Amino acid sequence: MAVKIGNIDVGDFPLLLAPMEDVSDPPFRALCKENGADIMYTEFISSEGLIRDAIKSTQKLDIYDFERPIGIQIFGNNINSMRKAAEICEAAKPEFIDINYGCPVKKVANKGAGAGILQDIPKMVAMTKEIVKATNIPVTVKTRLGWDENSLYIVEVAERLQDVGIKAISIHGRTRKQMYKGVADWTLIGEVKNNQNMHIPVFGNGDVDSPEKVAEVKDKYGVDGVMIGRAAIGYPWVFNEIKHFLKTNTHLEKPTLQDRVSACKRHLQHSIKWKGEVLGIAEMKRHYTNYFKGIPHFKAYRIKLVTSYNLEEIMETLDKVAVEFEGVKF
């Protein structure tokens, strides 16, 4: 049965690309969409930055038709600012507005934003209610199990957020205290999904790194879809691999070196198209290592790729990689 966020059909078991700071920009999202991602989210955007019209924040509002359905994700600790930010986001015409209640990094959480709001559930509910009232498009939430192991209230919290109007929730199976350490606990995500009072889609997130893992959490916990983050970095093929496995119980062939080079080139071209040649080349530098992770003796090529600002030279280096490492297993 099709999963719906509000009135928007997102498929039978959607795969969501997690919003990741400095990763899930439009060029990266383009590659993931080409390779089977169903729902996209922007990098998280500061509500204060948006209402001050800061370039770093407003640039993250860029969305493209090929990415749809897409959500714009916002964070902040001031209810009024978050309301205004939601109104600004709605004008950019996404399908959803997503509230980040999950970011664990100190500079966000210690100010009471992101996962920091898990220490003040009444404020979390009040803020969500105001954002829902401020916009006419579906509001979704991304959060964690709780602040620490002594505050695992996610079953109750999810229900309260649903009751003030959110249309879907994505839950990372760790507390804020855990950051990204240890193993994600899906049992509580399953409890949220199987709470008879929950009627909105519940998406699970955390340690989703293989088709088998997705099949396991789908069958065991009944989630409506999964959100994939780190496993997609440098490996956008993960979405189609999961879909193929769920349909056939067999594995797609892994991407060849030529596939990786080709994807890397397309990513670079998308980046230049979005930011212009100088910035596009600069912003691509963080991705080269990920595309070629596991190739032995790659260091000399990596250095060439990250130190060059000449597009022709970078393309030549990528062509050399395709020839030099042909047949290498990684």
115's CB contacts (< 8 A; 6+ apart) are 101, 102, 103, 104, 108, 109, 143, 144, 147, 176
CA distances from 176 to 101, 115, 138, 145, 146 (A): 10, 6, 26, 8, 7
Active site residue 32: no
**Angle, alpha carbons 246-171-7 (nearest 5°):** 75
Domains of the chain in start order, with CATH, are 4-248 (3.20.20.70), 257-324 (1.10.1200)
Residue type, 134: A
Kindly report the pTM of this predicted structure: 0.94
315's CB contacts (< 8 A; 6+ apart) are 265
22-80 pLDDT, tens per residue? 899 999 999 999 999 999 999 999 999 999 988 889 989 999 999 999 999 999 999 99
**Catalytic residue, candidates 32, 89, 103, 264:** 103
Q: What pLDDT does residue 235 have?
A: 96
38-52 pLDDT, tens per residue? 999 999 999 999 999
Kindly state the tokens that stand for 212. 């088998």
